Structure 1
Amino acid sequence: MSLKLYQRHPRSLEPILENTYLDVGGQTIYRVHTPFAPTPNRTTTISKTLYGSPIGIDHPPLSPSTIRRVLPKDDNAANLASGSQRESVDDSGLEIEPNASGEASNTAGHEATNPLATRKSRPTLDREGTNFTYLAQIDWRVFKSSKIRFGEGQYSYAGREVHVKDLFKKQGWGWWGRHRVFTGEDGNEYRWRLGRTRPELTLNDALKTPIATFHNQRLFSRQGCAYLEIFPQGQHMVDEIFVTFIYIERIRRVKQTHGI
């Protein structure tokens, strides 16, 4: 069965850079936080709760009506409109917010400590008492390659700082430019396809086996919450999929916004 991670705030001005992701039981699994700053360089911190497995991997999924009950009412897609985003793009196609900053700060519920300095992830508590642990940080850069700092965990690059030009290689062409290929923790190659309206992750093989896809919110459907769906073939590397998804969907939206 598929694992579905629902966005808590789909109508945020920055739904990819600032959001919380819930499983079908309404349990928080991931948090993505990007502090505002006045320079073009910002840092996104990705944290994960310490619950254990999200519902959908070790538990049967809930019905759509139950999902609507556990998700906040304002997350139901009916009567919602996505907020617009204003972004800037450098000549390499990397996306950065116009009002942006250097380093992430420690905020309630978000661990911004550099794992390269501590060499381990330290759990923190959010305002509701939920325990989070550091997963990764993305440093968005305009004039040079952005980079990702991975926390300790099940990653090919665990505990390392990697430039995205070294993490991803460009291969093939899609609606918004070159697709991105990376090597997963299992040694297989995976391709993020920059689709016209959403990103899709497949094995980078002849069969293009589906691994994950993002579903945008549907404005006129009561079951239309935006969510990332991870298929059984990718559930051994959920954290790695989620971190790379944040990067890929960010650059895809920038290209879509600017038509490049």
Structure 2
Amino acid sequence: MLTVRSKVCVYLYLPVPLRPPAPSPRTASMKLYLSRNSPLNATLVDDLGQELYYIHTPWKLSGRTTTITKADKELEAFVKFGGLLISDSKSDISPSDDLSTRGQPELAQIHWRCIGSSRLNFGGFERDIHEYLVRSGFMGWYRTFTAPDGRSYRWTMGFNYPELYTNDEHRRPIARFHRRRLSIPGICKGRAPHLEILPDGEQIADAIVMTFVYVEKRRRDCEKARSAGD
């Protein structure tokens, strides 16, 4: 008589500790849209419409001063009481307002000069702007500066838009300005002017915004001069 023996296997399932996935490096760039097509008077907002920087330049016949302030989230909700003006909405802050009276943290000031070097107030120090943004190349085509991270970066003015790279043998792109593009039905979509900051540059975004204001203003001055000479 044939006997069939069966084998019973018992499997024990022990819990395996789950490890959180390693954080993936950010690949999307930061885009700061200008509320106006002007590097001297504009509010910079991100993709969600959140205001991040304010650029304000009161009109004067000469000796104008550009103030760059950084949005303070803790000051976004206030009340108007007595002589203290505070708003519960960010929408009432326009580039024409005197933002220095809003209590926003001042990031930098550029004192423009028609004769002599313009002055820069940044990081608690005031100096000739050419000492911070060093000119080089044909007609001052390049502007080099050292950011708070201790690294050197170089703006390329360009005929149409400025670009920022690391000032080394790698020349990694850090930021670029995209000009306003008008919408043409059936041909192309409109595009708001915006400053694009790549992930490698986000840690020095304040310095990028501040230097961009100066570089783009100078680039537009050169553009107007070329147009007048045609």
TM-score, normalised via structure 1 length: 0.63
Structure 2 counterpart SS, 1:132: coil
Deviation of 1:109 (Å) = 4.4
Aligned counterpart in structure 2 of residue 184 of structure 1, from 141, 147, 150? 147
Identical columns (%) = 38
Match of 1:29 in 2: 52
Aligned counterpart in structure 2 of residue 249 of structure 1, from 212, 216, 220? 216
Structure 2 counterpart SS, 1:41: coil
Root-mean-square deviation over aligned CA pairs: 2.0
In the alignment, is the contact (CA less than 8 A) between 1:181 and 1:192 conserved in 2? yes
Amino acid at match of 2:220: R
Matched, 1:199 2:162: yes
Match of 2:204 in 1: 237
Match of 1:94 in 2: none
Deviation of 1:48 (Å) = 1.1
- Where do 5+ consecutive residues of structure 2 fail to align? 1-27, 75-90
Match of 2:71 in 1: 49
Match of 1:142 in 2: 114
Mapped to 2, the partners of 1:214 and 1:250 lie a distance apart of 12
Aligned length: 176
Any idea what the Cα deviations from partners look like across 1:93-128, whole Å, max 9, x if unmatched?
Answer: xxxxxxxxxxxxxx84411xxxxxxxxxxxx53xxx
Structure 2 counterpart SS, 1:196: coil
Structure 2 counterpart SS, 1:237: helix
In the alignment, is the contact (CA less than 8 A) between 2:56 and 2:98 conserved in 1? no
Mapped to 1, the partners of 2:151 and 2:180 lie a distance apart of 31
Amino acid at match of 1:180: R
Mapped to 2, the partners of 1:226 and 1:165 lie a distance apart of 26
In the alignment, is the contact (CA less than 8 A) between 1:109 and 1:132 conserved in 2? no
In the alignment, is the contact (CA less than 8 A) between 1:202 and 1:209 conserved in 2? yes
Mapped to 2, the partners of 1:170 and 1:246 lie a distance apart of 16
Mapped to 1, the partners of 2:164 and 2:201 lie a distance apart of 9
Deviation of 1:204 (Å) = 0.7
Mapped to 1, the partners of 2:158 and 2:193 lie a distance apart of 16
- Where do 5+ consecutive residues of structure 1 fail to align? 53-71, 73-106, 112-123, 126-130, 151-157
Say which structure, 1 or 2, has more relative contact order (CA 8 Å, 6+ apart): 1
- The structure whose Rg is larger is 2
